[in-house]
Amino acid sequence: MVVRSVRLWPDQGMRQIVFFLPGPLDARTGGSIYDIRMAAALQARGCRVDLVELDPGFPHPTPAALDHAERALASVAPGTIALVDSLAFGAMPDLVVREAARLRIVSLMHLPLAATFGLDRATAARFEAGERRALHAASRVIVTGKAALPLLTRYDLPPARIVVVEPGTDPAPIARGSGGSELLCVGTLNPIKGHEMLLEALAAVPTRDWHLTCAGSVTRDSETAARVRAAIARLNLAGRVTLAGDLDRDALAAHYEQAALFVLATHQETYGMAVAEALAHGVPVVSTMTGAIPELVGGEAGVLVPVGDTAALAAALTRVLGDADLRARLAEGARRVRDRLPTWDEAAGRMAEALASIDAHG
């Protein structure tokens, strides 16, 4: 894949920041959305921002992908701040270490590769070794969620080098579906997002007065998508579950508007951007306790269960779907929470401060 650069700010006199992220740039994943939205928010604050698309094969790059990344990094002017998405950062430690001598390399850490859910021991060890070398060459490590902080302790980084910059949210209209039976799940079909667990839990709910729409790619992980489709057939949920695939912003907003409940059985999150987006629409949540989800939902906007506990998830769904008054109270709580969510401008302010500290302290 040929590296392509998208210029978001043309003024050559402005501070230049370059984001490097595995493509495609329009991918509807949390990491890509964070990178794109943060770049746009920094642009609005007067920065000149380039987005450089790397090969989508990261974190398992081919030699050709590494060659493309090498040429892309080499094309950046000395002294420029280069933010490298964590999907690529630890997978090309030789390039990071080499370029750190002339660029201000920043790791944009959504999640350490070595801590990815479901990795085998050998792959995790290989990722950890690469990430250790790359992270110690970084000027800063920008972490996109507090849940990643304990996972970074294994790398023995100076605490002052790590900064947390969590995502923002967009203002959104309040959903009109709180009294209905439409359930919405947002996330790529992969082992991390727990779609099979969600289906098992829903199949155990006594009431059948619901319909679930799953928004998220069904092509990035074909094996998981096949297992999810098999589970739908095995559990006799055909007609009750729609796999909608990747949806653009307007189409997804329409689903949020009709949703009575947002559901997510995720095994691992650094933050939980989809949950925050649901709350921005005033949609109550039934999910697992990982990442910032407990902090976002609190005790008033949803019901949370332990990660991996299918029985607890089934009980929570049974309780919420069977009690219209409870759903109404949770929807009221979600509408209160939405007013406390951080904006992208606020998030960009924290990012700008973190990057300015590199200028101040090197």
Whole-prediction pTM: 0.90
Given this model, what pLDDT does residue 179 score? Answer: 65
Given this model, what pLDDT does residue 178 score? Answer: 62
Residues 332 and 347 in one domain: no
**10-residue stretch averages of pLDDT, the chain, 362 residues long:** 41 69 82 89 88 94 97 95 96 97 95 93 96 97 95 95 94 80 95 97 93 95 96 96 93 93 96 96 97 95 97 97 93 94 92 82 49
Given this model, what pLDDT does residue 12 score? Answer: 40
d(CA 170, CA 176): 18
Instruction: Give residue 245's region: left, alpha or beta (phi > 0; psi -120 to 50).
Output: left
Estimate to the nearest angstrom the gap between the alpha carbon of 205 and the chain centroid: 29
**SS3 state at 126:** helix
Residues 141 and 188 in one domain: no
Residues 334 and 348 in one domain: no
What is the domain extent for residue 258? 182-338
Residues 287 and 353 in one domain: no
CB-based contacts of 317: which residues, under 8 Å, 6+ apart? 201, 202, 205, 263, 286
320 falls within a domain? yes
The domain that contains 297 carries what CATH number? 3.40.50.2000
Given this model, what pLDDT does residue 126 score? Answer: 96
Residues 219 and 270 in one domain: yes
34 falls within a domain? yes
Residues 17 and 126 in one domain: yes
Residues 317 and 330 in one domain: yes
CB-based contacts of 321: which residues, under 8 Å, 6+ apart? 181, 205, 207, 209, 210, 261, 327
177 falls within a domain? no
Residues 237 and 309 in one domain: yes
SS3 content of the chain, % helix, strand, coil (to 5): 45, 20, 35
Residues 316 and 206 in one domain: yes
Given this model, what pLDDT does residue 20 score? Answer: 96
Given this model, what pLDDT does residue 15 score? Answer: 67
Residues 145 and 47 in one domain: yes
174 falls within a domain? no
Residues 196 and 146 in one domain: no
Residues 197 and 331 in one domain: yes
DSSP for 263-306? Answer: EE--S--SS-HHHHHHHHTT--EEEES-TTHHHHHTTTSEEEE-
247 falls within a domain? yes
**Domains of the chain: total:** 2
Two tokens at 103?
């660029």
